[in-house]
Amino acid sequence: MDVKNVVRKLVKKYKTSDPFEIMDALDIIYIKHPLPENVRGFYFSKLRRKIVVINSIYEKRRQIVTAAHELGHCLLHPKMNAIFLELNTLLVTSKYENEASKFAAELLMYNIDLTKYEGYVMEQIACALDIPENVLKLIVREGSYERSKS
């Protein structure tokens, strides 16, 4: 799946890379609710409605990153239930998690020109942009920060 192209079309159509604004536009329900500390959030579908739950104990930026990741699941894997698969099957869900993380990285970094940070180490760039280093690495690793936004 061409995640970069999915993100490009989405941002172009809705004129935003904010995952909450996109979920609003797509009529995806999102709920911020306290969850155990080790659960950032999750996505599920009920009665043909897409629902994202985000852990409200985390700071705003981490909630945005989680929302972008879960939006990735909504759009890339709408019928998959990762929790069920992980608990009840032998299927490896890491492929789906990696795709959702790549989606989040592409979405969150869409309007950021990383060439401004030439000479900086990854940790400095992540700190300057307030984006988790592991999300930033998904973009930089593939060189996709040099993409065209047209």
Tens of pLDDT, residues 77-120: 887 765 555 555 555 557 788 889 889 999 998 988 888 888 88
Per-residue pLDDT at 23: 98
Tens of pLDDT, residues 2-35: 999 999 999 999 999 999 999 999 999 999 999 9
- Among 3.90.1300.10, 1.10.10.10, 1.10.10.2910, 3.40.1410.10, name the CATH number for the domain at 3-110: 1.10.10.2910
Instruction: Confirm if 108 and 17 have CB atoms less than 8 A apart.
Output: yes
- Rounded distance, CA 132 to CA 123, Å? 9
Per-residue pLDDT at 111: 86
Tens of pLDDT, residues 71-81: 999 999 887 76
* Band of residue 147 on the pLDDT scale cut at 50, 70, 90: very low
* Residue whose C-alpha is closest to residue 43's, from 80, 18, 92: 80
Q: For residue 83, which phi and psi values (nearest 5 degrees)?
A: -65, -45
Q: For the full predicted model, state whether its pTM sits above 0.85.
A: no
Per-residue pLDDT at 53: 96
Count CB-CB contacts under 10 A for residue 9: 11
Per-residue pLDDT at 148: 38
Boundaries of every domain in the chain? 3-110
